[in-house]
Chains A and B, each alone.
Chain A
Amino acid sequence: MSDERLTGVEAREWPLWEVFIRSRRGLSHQHVGSLHAPDAAMALRNARDIYTRRSEGVSIWVVPAAAIVASSPDEKDSFFDPAADKAYRHPTFYDIPAEVKHL
């Protein structure tokens, strides 16, 4: 996603867009794939034709792939370390007498 792509008429390929779809009200948008399009309006139309041919969505987001900042898989251990030793953040960490209900 860090690739530099040319924009404009001289580009060999249109910019890449990531597509997110809300399948129905009450659910969040979910990533479904990507596509190439010259601009946002075409990206939306193409996303409709490619990813919702069977009413899979009620709302579409398209995001320039180049605009996405991602964590690096190389530092996955150190990056997510802070959460690893905090078991007390989970309810199962606590000892509660068996006779206590609704807690």
Chain B
Amino acid sequence: MSEDTTREAEFQALIDGDERIEPRDWMPEGYRKSLVRQIAQHAHSEIIGMQPEGNWITRAPSLRRKAILMAKVQDEAGHGLYLYSAAETLGVDRADLLDLLHAGKQKYSSIFNYPTLTWADMGAIGWLVDGAAIVNQVPICRCSYGPYARAMVRICKEESFHQRQGFEILYTLSHGTPEQKAMAQDAVDRWWWPSLMMFGPPDDQSPNSAQSMAWKIKRFSNDELRQKFVDMTVPQSEVLGLTLPDPDLRWNDETGHYDFGAIDWSEFFEVLKGNGPCNRARMEHRVRAHEDGAWVREAASAYAEKQRARATAGAA
């Protein structure tokens, strides 16, 4: 056997034995590329995801809600950093990943291209968007690549607070005045379908899925995860006293799952192509924030350099 075939066999044996691949192990180039693409996209989603909620920090209805929302947005920044750090173990630089994001060559989750029109959107994002993210992310805690799996364990622990605070916002609104309840319902109506699209295209149209499952980067198919999310979420909507905007949504005794209506995938692909309501605003804001922050990075570097020079001079 050639050296590469031996390495490939050893790699596959680790995957088949449900062991983890660690940074300095040999890995097929396709495995590495696939992970870089997925982890970078995930990291970008975390930091772009700060924008729709950052939009409401100054207008949170109470100090309690404001402190919670700031902590949540700070968590998103932290999640982005855990993930960039995991991506860097694969031999890429964070600065290069950010360049690719800013040049539109790497993607982030389409869900963040929708606007946050009212305070109730903070509730709907926490409950539905973070709820869908949790269903997506929990299986990644067992992903075959060690650093990604470990980052995901930390993230999942923290996401749970995000989802619960969102549910609490909606519960409070739906038990408030009729206007507040209507605001909550409107937010759920707007976020429900985009949340279902977060799981990605149906299994028969998902180009990377089969290989990712074989490498145990992905553990469940898009459709399986989507169904799981629907099954979890419908009973919660009943507790909220809010409806979900799908006339075909009903319990199916035979399958033991909820049936739901057809998803408008043309909308998903339009948003993916850059034609969602906020694609341009998100990217412009991201690039501006990065450029406006350049002087802070330069000042920190200059200060560190000065301290080093002083320490050297003092030692001499």
Interface pair B81/A8, CB less than 8 Å apart:
no
Q: Is B85 an interface residue (CB 8 A)?
A: yes
Chain B, interface size category, equals: 20 to 34
B152–chain A nearest beta-carbon distance, Å = 12
Report chain B residues within 8 Å CB of A74.
Answer: 26
A87 on interface, CB distance cutoff 8 Å:
no
Whether B63 is near chain A, meaning CB under 8 Å from some CB there, is: no
Q: State whether B82 touches A73 (Cβ < 8 A).
A: no
Q: Which residues of B contact A50 (CB under 8 A)?
A: 78, 81-82
- Report whether over half of chain A's contact residues are helix, strand or loop; otherwise say mixed: loop
Check if A9 sits within 8 Å of B75, measured CB to CB. Answer: no
In the assembled complex, which residues on chain A have CB atoms less than 8 Å from the CB atom of B71?
Answer: 53
In this assembly, does A84 line the interface, its C-beta being within 8 Å of a C-beta of chain B?
no
Check if B305 sits within 8 Å of A8, measured CB to CB.
Answer: yes
Q: Quick one: which of A36-59 are within 8 Å of B by CB?
A: 36, 38-39, 42, 49-50, 53-54
Contact residues in B for A70 (Cβ distance below 8 Å): 24
Scoring A residues 23 to 43 as 1 if CB is less than 8 Å from chain B, else 0, what string do you get?
A: 000000000011110110010
A9→B305 contact, CB < 8 A = yes
**By the criterion CB–CB under 8 Å, are A33 and B301 in contact?**
no
A 1-35 binary contact with B (CB < 8 Å = 1; else 0): 00000001101111010000000000000000111
Q: How far is the CA of A54 from the CA of B303 in the complex (A)?
A: 30
Chain B neighbourhood of A34, CB < 8 A = 85, 88-89
Report the bound CA distance from A16 to B298 in whole Å: 16
B151 in the interface (beta carbon within 8 A)? yes
Interfacial chain B residues near A54, Cβ < 8 Å: 158
Which residues on the A side are within 8 Å of B307 (C-beta)?
A: 39
Q: Judging by beta carbons under 8 Å apart, are B300 and A36 in contact?
A: no
In the complex, are the beta carbons of A42 and B85 less than 8 A apart? no
Contact A73 B94 (CB under 8 A): no
Which residue on B lies nearest to A56, using beta carbons? B154
In angstroms, how far is the closest chain B Cβ from the Cβ of A80?
A: 15
Q: Which of B51-68 contact A (CB under 8 A)?
A: none
Instruction: Verify if B302 is at the interface (C-beta below 8 Å from A).
Output: yes
Chain A residues with Cβ below 8 Å from B297 are 14
A72: interface (CB < 8 Å): yes
* Chain B residues closer than 8 Å to A12, beta-carbon distance: 93, 95
Chain A residues near B89 (CB, 8 Å)? 34
- Say if the beta carbon of B16 comes within 8 Å of chain A: no
Chain A residue at minimum C-beta to C-beta distance from B298:
A9
Is B291 on the interface with A (CB-CB < 8 A)?
Answer: no
Interchain CB contact under 8 A, A39 and B94: no
Indicate which residue in B26, B78, B147 contacts A53 across the interface (CB closer than 8 Å). B78
B304 contact set on A, CB distance < 8 A: 38-39, 42
Smallest Cβ distance from B83 to chain A, in angstroms? 10
Docked CA distance A8–B26 (Å)? 32
B305 near A13 with CB under 8 A, answer no
The listed residue (B22, B150, B305) touching A73 by CB distance below 8 A is B22
Q: Which residues of B contact A (CB under 8 A)?
A: 22, 24-26, 71, 74-75, 78, 81-82, 85-86, 88-89, 93-95, 147, 150-151, 158, 297-298, 300-305, 307-308
Given A9-B302, A38-B301, A42-B304, 9 more contacts at CB 8 Å?
A8-B301, A11-B301, A36-B94, A38-B303, A38-B305, A50-B81, A54-B158, A73-B22, A73-B26
For the complex of A and B, 6 pairs with smallest distance between CB atoms: A38-B304, A39-B304, A9-B301, A13-B95, A38-B300, A34-B85
